Amino acid sequence: MCGPPSRPPRGAVLPSSVSFSKIVKAYNEARSGGQDVPRLAVVGLGAEHARVVDVLSAGADEARGGARAVLDAVHPSAFSRLSLPSDSWDIVVFVAAGMPPRETARLVSAARNSGSRVIALVDAQETGAWARAAGFAGDEVARSLGAADGVRPTLENRLVHAADHRAVALAAHLPAVRRAYCDHVILANAKQNGIIGVVVILPGADMPAMTANQIRMVLQIAAAYGEEIGSDRALEILSVVGGAFAFRALARQALVFVPGFGWVLKGAIGFSATLALGRAAIAYFEAGAPLQVSHMKRIEHQVERARHRLPGFLQRRMAAR
């Protein structure tokens, strides 16, 4: 039975600027979205519709009910006959291939009236005329499925945004959505910590907020991979984020040796350290292994060595100007 993290055992060392209440709050926030699973309907016909359903269903955990616990494949004619009560589906995806835009527009209107979020999956070469004729807004259109090219919005990205705070539960049930969700969580937390690093001037005052973000991020990633986080694992997370304190020590030293520009480096380190921590968490969970304290301790040791070398490096750079 998983519950909030128990208080650290006597003798355990926690950073003085990180209160236990913040750890519990981050723990509860990370777990709150995993209990409410959004329902998803994929409406379409033909081979492309079948392909989309197969891709989204791939790897679904049968122990959680498989893809059928989250996703329904629906033919347009069957969809149009439904009364669409408000609790039918939270998100409805319309696969454009073979779907007349006028008929689709009627179904889209019905889905919206039922309270569902709507997404259109169109061909990457589509000019947008079909989506507009079918009644979709620009941020409701996805142009690819699977690998992202950094330019065209993917269906997985649109699903994460449409699911909002319940995206973690969707990712836990549908592995196809997992990476898009984790990338979203990592980038959001890295941006927050980058801003905190820039605007917080008092030494050490950035640690509570940054660390709470990092704990919550790792817990969210763990939940997306179906990892059960109990009190023992939650305390283990504290060791995982321990390396980030060394990163912030680097930033504070930079403030001394790079006057006028240290705040830029401080923000960059807050961003990059959080990004690196998130990527490390993904790598471990994708390998099917829990985060190991020993691995993160090695990273922390390497960063600590860099911290001791930084003053001399910066002094040489300043002298060379």
Domains located in the chain, CATH noted: 20-34+178-319 (no CATH), 40-171 (3.40.50)
- State pLDDT tens for residues 111-155: 998 889 999 999 877 778 999 999 999 999 998 887 666 667 899
d(CA 89, CA 244): 40
d(CA 273, CA 128): 39
Looking at residue 111, its pLDDT comes to 92
- State pLDDT tens for residues 168-193: 999 999 999 999 999 999 999 888 88
- State pLDDT tens for residues 250-304: 555 555 555 555 555 667 777 877 888 888 778 777 876 555 555 555 555 555 5
Q: pLDDT grade, residue 240 (50/70/90)?
A: low
d(CA 107, CA 256): 62
Looking at residue 320, its pLDDT comes to 52
- State pLDDT tens for residues 1-36: 455 554 444 433 344 444 556 666 666 666 665 567
Looking at residue 211, its pLDDT comes to 76
Looking at residue 263, its pLDDT comes to 54
- pLDDT of 102 strictly over 80: yes
Q: Which two tokens stand for residue 172?
A: 């836990």
55-64 long-range CB contacts below 8 Å, 24 or more apart? 55/145, 55/146, 55/176, 56/155, 56/174, 56/176, 56/177, 57/174, 57/176, 58/175, 58/176, 59/175, 59/176, 60/173, 60/174, 60/175, 61/172, 61/173, 61/175, 61/226, 64/172, 64/173, 64/226
Name the pTM for this structure: 0.76
- State pLDDT tens for residues 191-204: 888 887 776 555 55
Q: What is the DSSP string of 150-164?
A: SSSPBHHHHHHHHHG
Q: Which residue has the higher pLDDT, 141 or 240?
A: 141
